[in-house]
Structure 1
Amino acid sequence: MSNLEFSKLKIILPYNLLAEKLVLSSILTIPEAILLVSEKLPIDAFYLETHQIIYKALLILYAEGKTIDYINLITWIQDHGFLSKIGGSHILLELLNQINNGSNLDEYIGLIYEKYLRRSLIKLGEEIIESGYLTDIPLETIFAKIEQSFFNLIDNKSTKHLISVEQGLQQIIREIEQGLKIPQTPGLKTTFIQLDILTQGFQNSDLIIIAGRPSMGKTAFAFNLAKNIAQYHNTGVVFFSLEMTRQQLLYRLLASEVEITSTRLRTSRIKEKEWFQIHKIISKLSNLKLFIDDTPELSVNDIKLKIKGINLESTKKISLIVIDYLQLLEGKDQNTNRVQELSKITRALKKLARDLNIPIIVLSQLSRNVESRINKRPILADLRESGCINFFFKDKFINFNKLLENRILYCWTGNFVSKQKIFNIKFTGQKPVYKLKTNYGWSLFITSNHKILTQKGWKKLNNITLNNLISTKLLLSIKFLAYYSKAFITWDKVIKITYQKLAPVYDLQISKYSNYFVNRVIVHNSIEQDADVVIMLYRDDYYNKENPKQNIIELIIAKHRNGPIGSTKLIFDPKFLRFFNT
């Protein structure tokens, strides 16, 4: 039976009209609901074309940062010529008047998705019947296609990552064979040769942090990367600028390409021959699939919706996201302290990179610790601003080998204590160590810039004063904690902070939370642990004016989860903010 014959039967496929209306009504009356709905329902999950058009319009409105309401929705639908197709404005008014408090939204989404899967199953059955009549195609080919279609159908969140070692290795061997035929860097090439050799290009699902002190050229470098990748790969790239406006970035881009300073461009001091060159360059740059979003306040969810919106409307899918910069991103919970929030944001960005299966580059500031050292070259600890721990307990050194062997720490989740694995312990050198002593007799040996959870949020040790209250764990039995796990954090008074000596200190990374207990005190953990690649920018001539090698920028790959660390250098053109291979 062909598709045409099947459609002529006018069989109504499974769908839930009321659930579709209630979900769309929920989005219109509670705009935040679109975050949940968009996570779980594709556009064709809605059966009626009318509902598909309305849902797509709502997704695009949100992705463009517009208010989701009746006026904006009907305006979009009218402007795109869909009003008659949905049956008129009264259809939208009916959705607005639908009685719905949104409390059962998850259930309604589930009802829609179940019918969507049933329709997909019917479609697959139809394709199987049609395939049976295709006698010119070998059965093995038909069976393979049916099998693949079936697995695509049942591919959902709970099973899509579950594959056998055999399946995984077969995929790898295909990738290797392809690489033998067409030798190439497996990731997105930046066109900076040595950087591409070290990183093998930026890989899908990777979170890449580019860090540096102010005036190191982070934004210029990241924007160069975005432009190079969009141009070289002829692919979509989105640059989220939370600090600079799109006009400033575009002036920079044009200035670097035509080699005329931004100042001259802004003041229109252009010669006639330069004017023709500007038009030629603009025509060339206009072909780039490079998008700029300068919304000043963005969350990770906002970014996700905007990418989905671009993918809906653009012929080229987005292959890279660049965010300038981490510390300006908005978190979900505005009531938590900012340090915890940044840790949650990096985890959310890593999850987004995996969900979209594209690399995400995010810029980050380095701590001021760099400025206080004789050697200004940044190290990984400068990214974290978390300081380091010296493992003493009641003035006795903790058995470090035992800690390495057990690799277990306890963390505070906000409600209870969670046992977590240590997946990295790094010796960070000899540093000045201070002893903090509490009223209950607990002592802690840490560097001055390590953060401790106080009653007023996270504070570095050098900002904590006597009588400040810090969080500590009550001394309770394991049996008691099993029943009262939410009730054993208390506040302990700081009674003494004294300098001890230069001592060996260590940095720990754990698998999930952004804190851990040391000597019953909650201390802060790294924001860097979620990154797959950390690149730090350093210009020696910024600090050493006598350096004969001017305008050289060093790219220090301080962390590379799937490859080597190292460094490479580029030539930096400060006049036009460009970078070149050395």
Structure 2
Amino acid sequence: MENLRLSNLKTILPYNLLAERLVLSSILTIPETILVVSEKLPIEAFYLETHQIIYKALLILYAEGKTIDYINLITWIQDHGFLLKIGGSHVILELLNQIYKINNLDEYLSLIYEKYLRRLLIKLGEEIIELGYLTNIPLETIFTKIEQSYFHLAENKSTKHLISVKQGLQQIAKEIEQGLKIPHLSGLKTTFIELDVITQGFQNSDLIIIAGRPSMGKTAFAFNLAKNIAQYHNTSVVFFSLEMTKQQLLYRLLASEVEITSTRLRAARIKETEWFEIHKIINKLSSLKLFIDDTPELSVNDIKLKVKSINFESVKKISLVVIDYLQLLEEVDQTINRVQELSKITRALKKLARDLNIPIIVLSQLSRNVESRVNKKPILADLRESGCINFFFGDSVINKMKNSIIYCWTGRFFSKQKLFDIKFTGQKPIYRLSTNLGWSIFLTSDHKILTEKGWKKLNKVILNDLISIKLLFYANSLTHFNKSFITWDKVIKIRYQELAAVYDLRISSYSNYLVNRIIVHNSIEQDADIVIMLYRDDYYNKENSEKNIIELIVAKHRNGPIGSTKLIFDPRFLRFFDT
């Protein structure tokens, strides 16, 4: 009997017939309500096909600027051969005679949308059952697909991002007014004064990259940030450590607070007076809403699932995510090489920051270019891992190109730069871009070139787009040119060429260079809103009188100024202080 009841339920999907009729009736009688309805309901939200056809017709009439009334609606439906499908013209007349209250419209929309989500949930359940039987697909792939489908369903994106200019400006006015009454930073305060002045705090939806060479203190600094923000704002922060264990991080945290080295703590070489202080500090730190996850192999989707799970179980939602570090993150798609993978991961992290509407901090290693320079201070060009250029030369010619000179565009003039290395990064699909003046270049689809409207990936470039071309320049020194001749050449053809070898060019100062006169980009920092680079001069220069000073170089700030500030670094307890 129970099985029969479940079988009957499966054939009747959730929907609200009366609410669907009342909403369509409201549009027919008061056409202005379509503005509200179209913001909140997709066509699929209506269960009955008849109602979907009518709603689609109403949306098209509105989009075409036609009057929404009985005559125009019937005409459109009849002209498109749907009159018999909806059951005849009397169905529309019945909608016109439907009695409803306009002030209840939001309730009716909620009823329809709730049933729509339930139908999607049922569909997802059926897909999960089917996936469970597909033993030829790895479980990791199945779980990822389920997670993506679930979060797409849960996020309710159809109404989340749409606001009018009026609503947006009113909200901004309230924020400014509140700021006048109580001055405060617009983002999460790090408690490091000069850094907060430059960044104005870490903003929601921002992707912040903290980069440095090994031994610069990236993990210690990021963990200090996580602890400071959780403590100062009394908010929830999650720290994903792909390299260190949670036990190691917790020993560091306790050592820095009680001012006893983690070596002594681990060995339990503690005095009785220190023991009471440790208990006191542990009770204090236990109130922090700081979560640590030390799963060694994580993808961006794994991180998203874990954050959503914490948000579901906690009263206070996560306000900041910290990931240590980028190069240890994994991507589910194993068919792409590591270069493509890292680029895909940074884009996914930026999207995740927007979806969760919180800042995400991710640590990153810098390239070895730093070590080969006299000046070891890092620059944006060191944050590279692209590899999208194809050269039709032999290995011997490519090897000879190393340590040669290449031209870069500074934004005002060309500059000669040393080509430190050409690194083979695998086989990728290559496309040939041809211009009106006869120039051509071979690139992967996601490599960026300089167009008249700024940097564009090749897959976003269309025919007749204008791209930058170097024609001629006159030298007045060995390194710079005071007259630069840049012209814009029209793209006339983009064609798939072949699967071919691609290379990553490593240059000293700039993240672009010229290939066959065309200016192309060579950087992975494009997805970041803020890039902070860590530099300790005493690590490289032992004679430096300024010991234990770490410089924070804000090398990129999409919505504010760049600059640098210095902090005092305590190597014994791995703490940072304002100078």
For 2:555 and 2:549, the matched residues in 1 are separated by 18
Change (3 A) 1:508 1:161: farther
* Alignment correspondent of 1:85: none
Structure 2 partner of 1:383: 383
Please state whether the residue corresponding to 1:488 is helix, strand or coil.
Answer: strand
Partner of 1:530: 527
Deviation of 1:26 (Å): 3.6
Q: In the alignment, what sits opposite 1:497?
A: none
Stretches of structure 2 lacking an aligned partner (at least 5 in a row): 1-100, 102-106, 108-113, 133-141, 390-404, 431-440, 445-462, 465-490
Instruction: Tell me the equivalent position of 1:39.
Output: 151
Equivalent residue for 1:455?
A: 427
Aligned-residue offset at 1:337: 1.2
What is the rounded CA distance, in whole Å, between the counterparts of 2:253 and 2:427 in structure 1?
A: 47
Aligned length: 388
Decide which moves more: 328-337 or 563-572. 328-337
- 1:365 aligns with 365
- The residue that corresponds to 2:549 in the other structure is 552
Quote the Cα distance in structure 1 between the aligned partners of 2:371 and 2:407. 34
Question: What is the identity, as a one-letter code, of the residue corresponding to 1:27?
Answer: I
What's the offset of the Cα at 1:430?
3.5
Q: CA deviation at 1:385?
A: 4.8
Instruction: Tell me what 1:512 maps to.
Output: none
For residues 493 and 568 of structure 1, the distance between their equivalents in structure 2, rounded to whole angstroms, comes to 38
CA 1:369/1:163 → structure 2, altered by over 3 Å: closer, same or farther?
Answer: same
Alpha-carbon distance between aligned partners in 2 of 1:163 and 1:519, rounded to the nearest angstrom: 46
Q: For the residues of structure 2 that align with 1:488 and 1:302, how far apart are their CA atoms?
A: 36
**In 2, distance between residues paired with 1:493 and 1:528?**
20
2:416 to 426, 430, 445: 430
- The match for 1:27 among 108, 128, 131 is 128
What is the TM-score when the length of structure 1 is the normalising length? 0.59
Separation of aligned partners in 1, 2:502 and 2:334: 27
Change in 2 beyond 3 A, CA 1:317/1:19: closer
> Deviations along 1:150-175, whole A, 9 cap, x unmatched?
xxxxxx53564344433332222211
Match 2:498 to one of 482, 485, 489: 489
Tell me the TM-score normalized by structure 2.
0.60
Task: Report the residue type matching 2:128 in the other structure.
Answer: I
How far 1:291 moved relative to its partner? Answer: 0.2
Deviation, structure 1 residue 335: 1.7
Q: Aligned partner of 2:544: which letter?
A: N
Identity %: 71
The C-alpha deviation readout for 1:441-488, integer Å capped at 9, x for no partner, is xxxxxx233556653899xxxxxxxxxxx9679xxxx89xx9997742
After the TM superposition, which residues 209-358 of structure 1 pair with which residues of structure 2 at under 5 Å, given as runs? 209-358=209-358
* Aligned mate of 2:567, from 566, 570, 577: 570
Change (3 A) 1:428 1:519: closer
Q: Which amino acid aligns with 2:560?
A: G
CA deviation after TM superposition for structure 1 residue 315, in Å: 1.1
* 3-state SS in 1 of match to 2:565: strand
Shift of 1:19: 6.5
Q: Sort the Cα spacing of 1:385 and 1:340 in 2 relative to 1 into closer, same or farther, 3 A.
A: closer
Question: Cα deviations across residues 209-232 of structure 1 (Å, max 9, x unaligned)?
Answer: 000000000000000000000000
Give the residue type in structure 2 aligned to 1:431: Q
- 2:375 and 2:324 map into 1 onto residues whose CA distance is 27
Q: Secondary structure at the match of 1:542?
A: helix
Cα shift at 1:24: 2.8
Give, in whole Å, the separation in 2 of the partners of 1:237 and 1:231.
Answer: 10
CA deviation map 1:425-444 (0-9, x unaligned)? 58795322xxxxxxxxxxxx
- Counterpart secondary structure, 1:187: coil
The answer as to whether partners of 1:185 and 1:200 remain within 8 angstroms in 2 is yes
Shift of 1:42: 3.0
Q: Name the CA shift for 1:377/1:493 in 2 (closer, same or farther; >3 Å).
A: closer
Q: Deviations over 1:258-278 (max 9, x none)?
A: 111111111111111111011
Using the alignment, how far apart are the partners of 1:578 and 1:303 within structure 2? 27
Larger Rg: 2
Q: 1:457 to 1:553 in 2, by over 3 A?
A: farther
C-alpha contact 2:237 2:320 (8 A) present in aligned 1: yes
Matched, 1:192 2:201: no
The answer (yes or no) to whether the contact 1:533–1:559 under 8 Å persists in 2 is yes
| 1:62 counterpart residue number | none
Give, as a single letter, the amino acid of the residue that structure 1 aligns with 2:525. Answer: E
CA distance in 1, matches of 2:407, 2:559: 31
Contact 1:186 1:200 in 2 (8 A): yes
Structure 2 match to 1:414: none
Alpha-carbon distance in structure 1 between the residues aligned to 2:293 and 2:260: 24
Structure 2: distance between partners of 1:16 and 1:168:
28
In 2, the alpha carbon distance for the partners of 1:386 and 1:427 equals 24
* Structure 2 contact 554–562 (Cα < 8 Å) conserved: yes
Determine if contact 1:384/1:526 at 8 Å carries over to the other structure. yes
> Residues 196-252 of structure 1, C-alpha deviation per residue, up to 9 Å, x if partnerless?
111101011100000000000000000000000000000000000000000000000
Task: Give the deviation of 1:334 after TM superposition.
Answer: 1.5
The answer on whether the counterparts of 2:388 and 2:443 sit within 8 Å (CA) in structure 1 is: no
Unaligned 5+ segments in structure 1 are 7-12, 44-155, 390-396, 405-423, 433-446, 459-469, 495-502, 510-516
- Structure 2: how far apart are the matches of 1:493 and 1:186? 43
1:460-518 CA-partner distances (Å, limit 9, x unpaired)? xxxxxxxxxx9679xxxx89xx9997742364899xxxxxxxx9985349xxxxxxx94
Q: From the superposition, tell whether residues 160 and 486 of structure 1 become closer, same or farther in structure 2 (CA, over 3 Å).
A: farther
**CA distance in 2: counterparts of 1:199 and 1:349, whole angstroms:** 20
User: Partners in 1 of 2:501 and 2:371 — Cα distance?
Assistant: 33
Cα distance change on mapping 1:492 and 1:525 into 2, 3 Å: closer
Contact 1:387 1:450 in 2 (8 A): no
- State the match for 2:511 in structure 1: 507
Gap change, CA 1:337 and 1:19, over 3 Å in 2? closer
Partners of 1:175 and 1:567 lie apart in 2 by: 28
**Counterpart of 1:455 in 2: which secondary structure?**
strand
Aligned mates of 2:375, 2:206 — CA distance in 1: 30
Q: Cα 1:553–1:178, aligned 2, differ >3 Å: closer, same or farther? A: same
Counterparts of 1:344 and 1:493 in 2: how far apart (Å)?
17
Q: CA RMSD in A?
A: 4.0
Q: Are the structure 2 counterparts of residues 319 and 329 from structure 1 closer, same or farther at C-alpha, using a change threshold of 3 Å?
A: same
CA–CA separation in structure 2 for the residues paired with 1:347 and 1:179: 33
CA distance in 1, matches of 2:577, 2:535: 15
Is contact 1:331–1:345 with CA below 8 Å preserved after alignment? yes
**Residue type matched to 1:191 in 2?**
T
How many Å separate the matches in 1 of 2:502 and 2:273? 72
| Pairwise CA distance, 1:343 | 0.8
Looking at structure 1, the residues matched to 276 and 407 of structure 2 have their Cα atoms a distance apart, in angstroms, of 72
